[in-house]
């Protein structure tokens, strides 16, 4: 079984399509249906339509503050992590002003991540040939995940035949972190049912 967070769930699904005998199951948390400009526009529209006024206010303030600062003297890793912690918290977390600094403690992001998200994932449509993913798939989807909007998996035709979409009401992009006990319970129940 592979456990993956966010866009890396797309890699797990593509791997299962290419190497059907190597993966027994996939557990995804916060995985988008794809990672490209079309999905980004869809997610932005969802945020504008569904986020409450308080969340939108924090989001606007943080984006404005971010745009006014010069980030050129920071490494890619520093920019990415600060962008995640400061600018985009209202789109990632159930609590819109949550400080996720401890999550990123001691982590350095490789520029390979930039290549992954700017070149590899936009050129891949993971929704194609999902019927080839015949292993069990569990998706943890936070209702306040406005960056990846995993809720949109419910609209994808021909999902993997053994896919379970589990909604987390008090989570954003990280249900395994924000509702850890409930996440563990649901995974245990899902495995038992298998």
* Residue 40: how many other CB atoms lie within 10 Å: 16
Q: What percent of the chain has pLDDT over 70?
A: 100
Please give the average per-residue pLDDT across 144-173, as a whole number.
Answer: 96
Kindly state the DSSP code that residue 122 receives in the 8-state scheme.
G
- Report long-range pairs for 57-63 (Cβ below 8 Å, ≥24 apart): 58/89, 58/90, 58/96, 58/97, 59/90, 59/91, 59/96, 62/86, 62/87, 62/88, 62/89, 62/90, 63/87
Residue 159 has pLDDT above 90, yes or no: yes
> What are the tens digits of pLDDT across the range 55-97?
999 999 999 999 999 988 999 999 999 999 999 999 999 999 9
In 3D space, the residue among 147, 154, 174 whose CA is nearest the CA of residue 41 turns out to be 147
d(CA 34, CA 7): 8
Based on its alpha-carbon atoms, the radius of gyration of the chain, rounded to whole angstroms, reads: 17
Contact present, 192 and 48 (Cβ < 8 Å)? no
**Which single residue is written with the structure tokens 């006014």?**
68
Taking the complete model, does pTM exceed 0.85, yes or no?
yes
Q: 61 - beta bridge partners?
A: none
pLDDT value of position 171: 98
pLDDT of residue 188: 98
**Cβ of 42: how many Cβ atoms within 10 Å?**
17
As a whole number, mean pLDDT of residues 121-125 equals 92
Do 38 and 49 meet the contact criterion of CB atoms below 8 Å apart? no
Mean of all residue pLDDT scores within the chain: 95
> In angstroms, rounded to a whole number, what is the distance separating the alpha carbons of residues 70 and 43?
27
- State yes or no: pLDDT of 27 exceeds 90: yes
pLDDT value of residue 114: 87
């Amino acid at each position: 079984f592979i456990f993956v967070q966010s866009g890396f769930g797309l890699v797990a699904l593509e791997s299962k399509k290419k190497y059907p005998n190597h993966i027994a199951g996939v557990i995804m948390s916060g995985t988008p249906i794809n990672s490209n400009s079309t999905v980004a526009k869809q997610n932005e529209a969802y945020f504008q339509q569904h986020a409450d006024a308080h969340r939108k206010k924090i989001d606007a303030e943080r984006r404005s503050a971010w745009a006014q600062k010069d980030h050129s003297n920071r490494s890619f890793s520093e920019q990415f992590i600060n962008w995640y912690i400061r600018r985009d918290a209202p789109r990632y977390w159930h609590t819109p002003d949550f400080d996720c600094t401890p999550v990123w403690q001691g982590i350095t992001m490789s520029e390979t991540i930039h290549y992954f998200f700017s070149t590899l994932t936009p050129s891949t449509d993971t929704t194609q040939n999902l019927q080839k993913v015949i292993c069990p798939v569990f998706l943890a989807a936070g209702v306040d995940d406005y960056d990846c909007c995993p809720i949109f998996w419910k609209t994808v035709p021909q999902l993997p035949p053994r896919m379970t979409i589990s909604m987390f009401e008090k989570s954003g992009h990280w249900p395994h972190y924000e509702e850890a006990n409930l996440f563990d319970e649901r995974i245990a129940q899902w495995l038992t049912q298998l």
